[in-house]
Amino acid sequence: MRRPPIELHRGELKVTGSSLHLDATRRVECAFVSHAHGDHIGRHDRTIATAATLALMRHRLGEGKRRKTEHLPASYRSPFGLGELTLELFPAGHVLGSAQVRVTRNGVSLGYSGDLCTEPTHAAERAEVMGCDVLVIESTFGHPRYVFPPKDETLAAVRRFVDGALADGVTPVLLGYALGKAQEILKYLSDLGYACRAHPVVHAVNKVYEAHGVALPNVRPLGPEGAGMDEVVVCPPHLARSPAMRGLRKRRTAILTGWAIDGGRFFRGVDAAFPLSDHADFPSLVRYARATGAGRVFTVHGHEDALAAALRKEGIRAEPLREHMQLELI
């Protein structure tokens, strides 16, 4: 019997028989980082990621002074060696610089999707299908109830919300994560000519995006003076009542999240909830897994059991990745 090429080691994903971890949050010798959201990054001895992800990590973590760290920028579709492993990165479509990785050893390829969004986005590279023998796929929305409407329809609904608020003389406030969701909606609205204000935390991330070629016209940082009568404000959900927002006297608030599928009743203090997600929904995950051609799939991070069950119905050998997995046939 041979061990599967991926394992959970102390709660972290690790390529079996190597020092390479995938999206480790505790410090490890060597880690591939798929993107710069806080639940996927850490200070590692060596970090492999795209240049944009490394820049966003530096913004979020600082440089780090106690121990020397080595950043190894990698480009999409440019294979490179790491010991006996060959690595190749592919766009994941999640946020700017997000990447999947294919790890090949002894003729067997292991693909790790990281957080994946197969729908085209306005502020991130479009995802590509990564062919592989074994696939590790994220399962955030891997339950059949998560079926998102077409993104164009969702964005049009957000725009109607914005127009309605402006027509009523109140400030439309859109709540989205500071990295990814905020830039998606700012790019969409600003390209249409809307004047936008970004919470200072969002504005700091915007500068990294702009440095990597994502233009955000008509976007200014939100200052103590608040916003004008014709301006849209974008803010992280947890900062909706922060000091930076006190200058907004009259506001109408909407949250942008895939979890809106579960119903607006789950979101207190907002007037609307729109299912704008930077993750793939359930049907997209199933289609993607099938498109990779993988003969075996491990599901992680979310609704692992439900997604694995659905993939088995598609004739794919699939199961959630568990910490206790021992020797078994691939």
Res 266: pLDDT: 62
- Count H helices and E strands in the chain, helices first: 6, 19
Q: Tokens 């490394």 identify what position?
A: 54
pLDDT digits (tens, 9 = 90+) for 22-32: 999 889 999 99
Q: What is the DSSP letter of 261?
A: G
In this model, does residue 1 exceed pLDDT 70? no
CA neighbours closer than 13 Å in the CB half-sphere of residue 164: 11
Nearest to 283 by CA among 262, 313, 256: 313
| H or E element in which residue 287 lies | helix 282-292
Assigned CATH topology for domain 151-274 = Rossmann fold (3.40.50)
Provide CB contacts within 8 A for 63, sequence distance 6+: none
pLDDT band per the 50, 70, 90 thresholds, residue 60:
confident
Q: Summarize the confidence of residues 182-205 as an average pLDDT.
A: 97
pLDDT band per the 50, 70, 90 thresholds, residue 321:
very high
| H or E element in which residue 62 lies | none
- Percent residues over pLDDT 70 in the chain: 95
CATH superfamily to which 6-145+279-320 belongs: Ribonuclease Z/Hydroxyacylglutathione hydrolase-like (3.60.15.10)
Least confident of 2-6, 48-52, 204-208, 324-328: 324-328
Average pLDDT, rounded, for the chain: 93
Residues facing residue 255 across a β-bridge: 175, 273
Q: Summarize the confidence of residues 283-307 as an average pLDDT.
A: 97
Q: What is the DSSP annotation of 153-184? A: HHHHHHHHHHHHHHHTT-EEEEE--TTTHHHH
137 in helix, strand or coil? strand
pLDDT band per the 50, 70, 90 thresholds, residue 64:
low
pLDDT band per the 50, 70, 90 thresholds, residue 263:
confident
**Spans of all domains in the chain:** 6-145+279-320, 151-274
In this model, does residue 325 exceed pLDDT 60? no
Res 324: pLDDT: 57
Res 264: pLDDT: 61
Provide CB contacts within 8 A for 315, sequence distance 6+: none
Res 302: pLDDT: 93
76 in helix, strand or coil? strand
- Give the number of other CB atoms < 10 A from CB of residue 250: 11
pLDDT band per the 50, 70, 90 thresholds, residue 4:
confident
102 in helix, strand or coil? strand
pTM, two decimals, is 0.93
Res 10: pLDDT: 80
